Structure 1
Amino acid sequence: MDHQAPIGPTDAELAVAARGGDCAYLGLLLERHRAPLYAAALRVLGYGPEAEDAVHDTFIIALRHIGELKDPQAVVGWLFTVLHRCCLGQLRRRRREVLTAEVPDRPDERPSVEERLEKVALREWVWDALRKLPEPLQATAMLRYFGSYPSYEELAAILAVPVGTVRSRLSEAKRKLAEMLLETAGLVDPDARLQSRQHQWFYDELFRGLNRAGERDRYLSHFAEDLHLVRGGGKPVVGRSFIAQEVIEDNEAGVLFEPQRILSARNVSVIEGRFVNPPEDPFHCPPGVSFVVFRRDSKARRLHIHLSPRPPGIDDD
């Protein structure tokens, strides 16, 4: 669970296979970088549904445009550039601005749905995935991602539904498409999926151990003595003692932590969960939290903590 060479094909090799139309390898590429992408989205948007939406947007854009990637060696940088633009789109949307260009260095040409999909190397998979969506989600996703209507207001008018319904349908459609895409990853590289699962099991057990007497030291020993601890967008403080003090205070107050979802890839893991405060102190901790762990040499060297005023709404991956 530390710094090591990637298992299986390189990122560039996965990009070449995906560019040639192999959806399973695109799924593996995105699965490999899902946790770091989500960590980057959290840094920009904070903990909440917008960060996950930005990652799903990145997945959909990769589906649409991986065939146009000119330099496979640059695929990771390309994914993070797309993510950054998706995050900026989320920030603009907070200010009620319309999301426009999503893909770096590419003009926005919007032909018909059929022509758009015909240019996608993964068009057969995309069509099959769209057909599996319920009709309301299918229509909304096709208009938004493969049609000529970037505005939620336009989609609402076309579909004769409120803007809020458009948002919820798009969010659900993106989630389902992302799940189908990631499921293909296990078809081509079960070893990589197993490694990810092992990280998930490790952190689930480690964080649940905080609720059991005598396991606090095991939790703290995973973090390096010179741990860089970052809360939200603040400046880092150095030293494991800072996280140790917080753990001790929470334990003494009777706060429990329940992991809800864990994403892990290579040296990055994201642990989402909720704090359960004791009845006598219901506001000791905010209900929602996301920990982003960066590892090296089997130790957590950097930890970002994102707090939320509401617990996560998590579906099984």
Structure 2
Amino acid sequence: MGQPNFHRDGSKPDAELVMAARGGEAPSLGLLLERYRPQLYAIALSMLGYTSDAEDAVHETFVTALTRLDGLRDPAAVGGWLHSILRNHCLMALRRRRPCAKPAETDRVFRELADEERIESRIESRDLRDWVWAALGRLPEMQRATVMLRYFGSSPSYEEIAAILGVPVGTVRSRLSNAKVRLSELLLASAGLSDRDHQKLVAERLAFYVAEFRSLYGGGRDRFLAHYADDLEIGLAGGPRRLGRHLFAEIVDEDTGDGVRAEPVRALASGNVTVLEGNFLNPPEDPFHCPPGFAFVLFHGEHQVRGMRIYNSARPARSEE
């Protein structure tokens, strides 16, 4: 199988997509966010690990971008703007994990996110409001009611919403979180109708890696490894970055020798960045050898992968026998 085009983009410039989105074209915003999703997810993985928090931070970033788009001063600088929003959400997720985070840092993040919430309450006046209302109509009714009370009413607190709906505050938070995920998914889905080239690119990359891993386990080790540069920069989560394809070869040989197979199931792609997610298939006699899943962040050069970061999901708890 030939190598896919790792640098094709062919889409409209960022600034043009931002201006179209401000004019009410939700697919343009969805297309812009899809373009940056691999980079954003890679940053979230590096900050939060391969957990649901990383995906949640990206969804939160998308919804924040939807509600703050008119505040972006330079449409051409949308990439840095999105990265900044994402990092704030990641810091908030880290704070939830570590309540003893530095006060100065968390106070700054709280101020910025509080400002985002104030802006979110004005979403109804945006050019994108028609799309937002249509998307809300596709949410389950209790999620929809919670979102409407939070962002379209008089901006009541979580406690007030809980009292109105007769549910615990935790339920309000959960519904809002799930609604943001669904809204971001609908926004990305709207982009698929206007960017067939990007959808084709993603499908090509996933098909390429599925075929490459099958080749690896079918005796094509050397062909598989040839896809990676001799001076590959490789990093494992929480460890230092090191150079050399031989390091990746050692990991591959150890896993295959132990009867472990990696099965890609999802890809995100944009420009020279691919995020590849998949499952580890452990041998029956050693079901806990590798964690259930992995995420590879791949940085492509002209002909080979020049850098990769490897993140593994948490291992499931073993039941005591």
Smaller-chain TM-score bracket: 0.7 to 0.9
The alpha-carbon deviation at position 260 of structure 1 amounts to: 3.0
**Is it true that 1:309 corresponds to 2:314 in the alignment?**
yes
1:240 to 224, 235, 245: 245
Q: Does structure 2 retain, via aligned residues, the 8 Å contact 1:270–1:290?
A: yes
The alpha-carbon deviation at position 144 of structure 1 amounts to: 4.9
What amino acid sits opposite 1:110 in the alignment?
R
The alpha-carbon deviation at position 138 of structure 1 amounts to: 1.4
Partner of 1:119: 125
**Is it true that 1:66 corresponds to 2:77 in the alignment?**
no
1:132-281 → structure 2 map (5 Å cutoff): 132-144=138-150, 148=155, 156-210=162-216, 212-281=217-286
The alpha-carbon deviation at position 31 of structure 1 amounts to: 0.7
Partner of 1:314: none
Structure 2 CA distance for partners of 1:309 and 1:192, relative to 1, 3 Å: closer
**Is it true that 1:51 corresponds to 2:58 in the alignment?**
no
**Distance in 1, Cα, partners of 2:271 & 2:119:** 39
Deviations 1:3-49 (A, max 9, x none): 64631211121112112221111011011111111001001111110
- Structure 1, unaligned runs of 5 or more: 312-317
Q: Higher Cα Rg: structure 1 or 2?
A: 2
**Distance in 1, Cα, partners of 2:169 & 2:279:** 30
**Distance in 1, Cα, partners of 2:151 & 2:112:** 10
TM-score for the superposition, normalised by structure 2: 0.85
**Is it true that 1:110 corresponds to 2:92 in the alignment?**
no
Structure 2 CA distance for partners of 1:94 and 1:142, relative to 1, 3 Å: farther
Partner of 1:42: 45
What is the root-mean-square deviation of aligned Cα atoms in Å?
Answer: 2.7
Q: Does structure 2 retain, via aligned residues, the 8 Å contact 1:137–1:169?
A: yes
Partner of 1:296: 301
Structure 2 CA distance for partners of 1:213 and 1:187, relative to 1, 3 Å: closer
The alpha-carbon deviation at position 213 of structure 1 amounts to: 1.9
Structure 2 CA distance for partners of 1:144 and 1:208, relative to 1, 3 Å: farther
What amino acid sits opposite 2:39 in the alignment?
P
Residue 118 of structure 2 aligns to a residue whose secondary structure is coil
- Structure 2, unaligned runs of 5 or more: 100-105, 317-321
Deviations 1:256-313 (A, max 9, x none): 22223221122111112221211222332122221111112131111101112248xx
Partner of 1:315: none
Q: Does structure 2 retain, via aligned residues, the 8 Å contact 1:2–1:296?
A: no
**Distance in 2, Cα, partners of 1:285 & 1:268:** 25
Deviations 1:154-202 (A, max 9, x none): 6545543345544543343223212211122122222222222222222
Residue 52 of structure 1 aligns to a residue whose secondary structure is helix
**Is it true that 1:13 corresponds to 2:16 in the alignment?**
yes
Percent identical across equivalent pairs? 51
**Distance in 2, Cα, partners of 1:112 & 1:90:** 19
What amino acid sits opposite 2:26 in the alignment?
C
What amino acid sits opposite 2:196 in the alignment?
P
TM-score for the superposition, normalised by structure 1: 0.86
